[in-house]
Amino acid sequence: MRWTSGDGSNVEDARGRSGIGFGGGVPLGLGGFVVLLLLSWATGTNLFQVLGTGDATPAESTRAVGTAGQDDQSVAFVDAVMKDVQDTWEQLLPGRYRRTRVVLFTDSLESGCGLAQSATGPFYCPSDSRVYLDLGFFRELQDKLGAPGDFARAYVIAHEVGHHVQHLMDIEGPSVAIELQADCFAGVWGHAASQPGRASQGKVELDPGDAEEGLNAASAIGDDRLQRMATGHVSPDKFTHGSSAQRVSWFRRGLESGRPTACDTMSSTDR
């Protein structure tokens, strides 16, 4: 995947203290953190809060993009992808799309939707129209969930922007349908990014094999797979995002069609 660093205008860097422990709560090692993270995703319950590990908000600090040490490249990547995704949606929804930003944080941060925590994974907050992301999720995506690659990370960002599109278009519906549509919207951007010659224009351009990375990521974070990893069994009645097969299917629809109209999960029986 080829991309060019931007000016940082698509990112708000609000990362606070480093580390996995939460102020005032029980400090967690990486193993315990990952277990609770998976269980939280699988059950839809913030177990960090239930167990008293996330009651306090760490001191916040604001840093300019490019001063965050080893994560500088990741920040630049997020900014580049976010810009490209939004440029695409401005073309697809002329006059209707309003740009937003990714808020980067570490461990926890107050958002317009309450306390943002790493345990919940990346999310979109409609109250302040912002995407929230702890860069540590990218490491978990690769190391713990088996979904490496730049386009796997880009898919996550594009999925959250998909929720922003839904908010702007007043799209509402069941949780699984909403999430699968955001997957399809991510694929719509992936289709645009797959067009040849974009890199020479300073845009994101996919390389051969990138699509497979995105599809692998969609499969890796299916509800059935996360539930099986966390509990050893699958409970479809507790699905919030859709199964691996569903997420792959709808992401692929967006990738192949490049059309938002192909993403009608609300009326489709294929979910």
Domain boundary assignment for the chain: 11-263
pLDDT tens-digit map of 96-154:
999 999 999 998 899 999 988 888 889 999 999 999 999 999 999 999 889 999 999 99
Q: Among 67, 64, 99, which Cα is nearest to 84's?
A: 99
Cα gap 240→180, rounded to integer Å: 10
| Range in 50-54, 55-59, 228-232, 258-262 with the lowest mean pLDDT | 55-59
**Confidence band of 70 (pLDDT split at 50, 70, 90):** low
| pLDDT value at residue 117 | 86
pTM of the model: 0.81
Cα gap 217→145, rounded to integer Å: 8
CB atoms within 10 A of CB 216: 19
Total residues belonging to the chain: 271
Cα gap 159→87, rounded to integer Å: 15
Q: What is the mean pLDDT of residues 191-203?
A: 96
Q: Is residue 220 over pLDDT 70? A: yes
Task: Using DSSP, state whether 151 is helix, strand or coil.
Answer: helix
Q: What is the mean pLDDT of residues 53-73?
A: 46
pLDDT tens-digit map of 153-188:
999 999 999 999 999 999 999 999 999 999 999 999
User: What percentage of residues in the chain have a pLDDT greater than 90?
Assistant: 67
pLDDT tens-digit map of 201-215:
999 999 999 999 999
pLDDT tens-digit map of 83-96:
999 999 999 999 99
Q: Among 271, 252, 86, which Cα is nearest to 162's?
A: 86
